[in-house]
């Protein structure tokens, strides 16, 4: 129910708060930026609402959103993968698997056309550990954002239950009319993938 903009606003507040707390605790700007980047990525690119194919979060992927179709089909909206940490990790692994697949396909294709491209990213061990720590920062940022998302989902559901049913239904009808005016009525094939973005 908070929808895309509700979550984006909440995460923006959390981003500012995290930045202030980390600076106050004496973390370097590099660490703060990496954590902030994690929050931004988890808000705009890999939000928990990737489990809903009609969500704003998936729309942001443009044509590439079809890469998320298997994920959205497998994960039920607001099911286990909506939980922070576990869900965060699964979405990261999902993207890494897609990237790995692309690298493999390109290597195969390059070999066929006889192009030599080095995909060797390895530097020396110190560099790798140093960079890996930033990845940990980014991941922590993503977990912070996903936790905020989850808490907001739970809180808004509680609030919603406090509102009498007839008001809720009136709101649903209103929202439905809006959606239809925006995008036209839902097509049959979209019914099973539609739902409320939360």
- For residue 54, give the DSSP letter: T
Work out whether 153 is an interface residue with Zn ion (CB under 5 A): yes
- Using the rule CB under 5 A, give the single segment among 25-33, 41-49, 139-147, 180-188 that binds Zn ion: 41-49
Alpha helices in 3-124 (DSSP H): 3-24, 29-44, 56-59, 69-74, 86-112
Cβ proximity of 77 and 48 under 8 Å: no
Report, in Å, the least distance between residue 181 CB and Zn ion. 24
Work out whether 54 is an interface residue with Zn ion (CB under 5 A): no
Work out whether 198 is an interface residue with Zn ion (CB under 5 A): yes
Chain position carrying tokens 């290597």:
107
Q: Which two tokens stand for residue 43?
A: 């808000």
- CA 160 and chain centroid, separation: 24
- Using the rule CB under 5 A, give the single segment among 21-29, 66-74, 119-127, 145-153 that binds Zn ion: 145-153
* Binding residues for Zn ion, total number by CB under 5 A: 4
Residue closer to Zn ion, measured from CB, 54 or 198 = 198
Residue closer to Zn ion, measured from CB, 87 or 141 = 87
Cβ proximity of 197 and 56 under 8 Å: yes
Residues that bind Zn ion (CB under 5 A): 48-49, 153, 198
């Amino acid at each position: 129910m908070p929808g895309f903009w509700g979550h984006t606003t909440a995460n923006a507040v959390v981003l500012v708060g995290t930045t202030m707390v980390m600076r106050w605790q004496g973390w370097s700007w590099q660490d703060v930026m990496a954590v902030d980047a994690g929050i931004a990525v988890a808000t705009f690119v890999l939000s928990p609402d990737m489990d809903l194919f009609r969500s704003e979060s998936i729309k942001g992927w443009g044509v590439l959103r079809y890469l998320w179709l298997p994920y959205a089909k497998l994960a039920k909206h607001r099911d286990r993968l909506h939980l922070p940490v576990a869900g965060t990790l699964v979405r990261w692994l999902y993207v890494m698997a897609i990237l790995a697949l692309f690298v493999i396909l390109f290597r195969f294709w390059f070999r066929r056309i006889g192009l030599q491209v080095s995909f060797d990213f390895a530097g020396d061990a110190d560099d790798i550990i140093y960079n890996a720590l930033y990845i940990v920062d980014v991941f922590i940022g993503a977990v912070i954002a996903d936790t905020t998302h989850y808490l907001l989902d739970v809180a808004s559901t509680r609030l919603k239950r406090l509102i009498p049913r007839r008001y809720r239904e009136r709101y649903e009808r209103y929202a439905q009319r809006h959606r239809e005016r925006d995008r036209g009525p839902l097509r049959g094939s979209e019914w099973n993938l539609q739902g409320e973005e939360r």
